[in-house]
Amino acid sequence: METVPNEFPPSEGNPASPGQPGGEPGFESAPGHIPKAGGIGLWMRDLLVSAIASVLIITFLYQPVRVEGTSMLPRLEDRDRLFINKFVYRISAIERGDVVVFHYPRDPEKSYIKRVIALPGDRLRIDHGNVWVNGKKLDEPYVPEEFQDTRSVAEMKIPLGTYYMMGDHRSISSDSREFGPVERSLIYGKAVFIYWPARDAGVVH
């Protein structure tokens, strides 16, 4: 399991009865009855198919990661476990508001998890903690008042092929305000579902 700092997975039917096509003389079966051995075999087969399907889905579509740090509070807490979708951005575009995992630009061996705030070509400025994109103040219900800060960033145009990232806990997050927009090639997954601890389980918004 990868650690992701905040800073920075035809019915078988009943045996044929005598007189029916394929029925064996002298063998009668009560309706709905399946021989015990056959039932266990079917159960084992279904279990094996389910296990293989789960492994394939997790291997090729999803990856479990662990959050380290608190810069994505309140939704993501330190040591939360979640699944990221590794395939979704091959068939769909990255959207503003997505929570993504990417290689830290200053050290690609590390991975960060942040929220996409601005897209390529957007004009962005931050005025005492208020984020403006393309001349409109961004509505950010995911940032509680107690997690806001008063930092400012001069207006800039997000370069093509890059994305501006910020943590939801603005007062402690190390993000694009420090290391700049993130190149598309460094983004490798979208956070989709927290599975542990159980009290935090749910879709990541």
Q: pLDDT, tens digit, for every residue of 107-124?
A: 999 999 999 999 999 999
Q: Which of 111, 114, 173, 176 is catalytic?
A: 114
Q: What pLDDT score does 33 carry?
A: 52
Residue 70 CA, distance from chain mean position: 18
pLDDT, tens digit, 9 for 90 and up, residues 31-66: 555 455 567 888 888 888 888 877 766 666 889 999
Q: Which of 127, 112, 87 is nearest to 168 (CA)?
A: 112
Residue 193 backbone dihedrals phi, psi, to 5 degrees = -155, 130
User: What is the predicted pLDDT for the residue at 39?
Assistant: 79
Report yes or no: 64 and 9 within 8 Å, Cβ to Cβ.
Answer: yes
Distance of CA 99 to the CA centre of its chain: 8
Single-letter residue type at 137: K
pLDDT at 59: 65
pLDDT of residue 44: 86
SS3 state at 46 = helix
pTM: 0.74
pLDDT at position 123: 98
Residue 176: its pLDDT value, please? 98
114 is known as an active-site residue: yes
Residue 16 has a pLDDT of 40
Distance in angstroms (rounded) separating the CA atoms of residues 73 and 3 = 17
The CATH code that applies to domain 60-203 is 2.10.109.10
Amino acid at 56: L
Answer for the pair 94, 45: CB distance below 8 angstroms, yes or no. no
Q: Which residues of the chain have pLDDT under 70?
A: 1-3, 5-38, 56-60
How many CA atoms, within 13 angstroms, populate the side-chain half-sphere of residue 33? 9
* Choice among 17, 54, 71, 110 that is catalytic: 71
What is the amino acid identity at position 46?
D
Q: Would you call 71 a catalytic residue per the annotation?
A: yes
Q: Which residues of 169-191 are buried (b: 16+ CB within 10 A; e: fewer)?
A: bbeebbbbbeebbbeeebbebbb
